[in-house]
Structure 1
Amino acid sequence: MAELTYKLEVFEGPLDLLLDLIEKHQLDIYDIKISLLTEQYMLYIEEAREQDWNLTADFIEMAARLLYIKSYSLLPVQEDEEEDPKADLEQLLRDYAMYKRISQDLKDEYIGAQIFFREVVPTGLPKPPANYNYAADRLELAYRRVVSSFAAKNITPKTFNRLIGTKIVSVNSRILYVLKKVRRQSRVRFEAFFDECQSRSEIIATFLAILELLRAGRLDTDENGDDIIMILNTEVVR
């Protein structure tokens, strides 16, 4: 087994660790060398245990998942095989990388605005298997269109006074707004969630709310031409 190629660092979660390993070893996120990734991940886990770090269950769960994918990749491929755990992991990592990139862009741009950012919303509901039927790059482009459209609006003195007096918007409040809108209309265009936004903080909070609901499995997506459509995951939300 190869030696650990970097100093032991603290990561927020297993996905952050995996992305760091992918970058350090210059792996293709669209075609990951699962054996190398698993080997390096397990080295990190072993080293962390030797240093008596209290690893969360998420790290251990991901270790088991990587070992399963590695074992699965050694089996003969069946013609009618539909399951592809490696492809699912690659999609998960691409989506998470997109989420981190946009979140960092937002934090950098609005660092002085005291925007309320959150990590994960505890839903209190069973978490279903992740359903990645949406294109992360399309979601990112759609969001940037919303921001560009807002920036292009004519700001009158009256509007400006209203904007600077706007209270900071929490992600929690926008989660409730998004769920209510989807329940009422069944199918909602991504851009439609931002039609009534009156400030940049409201736009940011709304977008982060949508991302968290997608990550939690409470929203699914569909496509209608160039539009991304948000729909309720009825298996989770009643």
Structure 2
Amino acid sequence: MSTELTPGAPQELALPQSEASDLPEVVDGVAVARLYGEPLFKLPQDLYIPPDALEVFLEAFQGPLDLLLYLIRRQNFNILDIPLAEVTQQYLSYVEQIRRHNLELASEYLLMAAMLIEIKSRMLLPPKKADPNSEPEDPRAELVRRLLEYEKIKLAARRLDELPVLGRDFLRAQIHIEQSLTPRLPEVSADDLRAVWADMMRRAQLKQHHKISREQLSVREYMSHLLRRLQGQRYVEFEDLFELDRGPQVLVVSFIAMLELARERLVEITQAEAFAPIYVRLAYTPA
């Protein structure tokens, strides 16, 4: 069975006291580890440790320009007059280190190293004078321009990272503010009307007379009657619009008239709050 252990300081696995008492005593050496309660005095022969199991990065760079800028700024070189021989030598030594471990990561660094060598070779050649009145072009000019632009972007990114970030440095406070200036009254539901109507019918039955009569009742007539009752009134309580002493027939016709007026949007039925008295008012202002 293959077992992976970390070499170094001794390790012990926690075991119950009953099992720990059965362990053999160490006489000639010190166990480097315990495996299933048994002491190990040397590492197993089949222990495999991958070569890249432990990696330590002393410096982390974001790319070739980042490494080159680091070498220049660390030694206080003038970026407009870079000593390419010394910087290229240091750059290649670092690239050689990362090439041994990760060839894919070193590919882009090798491209920059080739560019540095090319610039150095161009500096060793006699400059080409296209115009006798103009100075010869510095082969390092393009590299300096890229380094300066990269440094500006890097400093700007650092300043942006120092700004407070939502979710990292602070949380957004949420509060609900009622934006409406006019108070909104709760809407009267059908259940509220049914409850009021049932209460009125119960009270009307207590006052009814055993008198048989025939009366022609008109819904339109009672609609006009209710509108006249509401004129000049700001609010009228729902129950005050009905004549309880005239019997259930009149109450039924009056209630139907009230519903017709509400359906035609001639009256409004409102309520200040839940379980509060219900009021009726005109939905328009009479001339």
Structure 1-normalised TM-score? 0.41
Q: Of Structure 1 and Structure 2, which has the larger fraction of its residues in helix?
A: 1
Larger RCO (CA within 8 A; separation ≥ 6): 1
Q: Choose 1 or 2 for highest CA Rg.
A: 2
Structure 2-normalised TM-score? 0.34
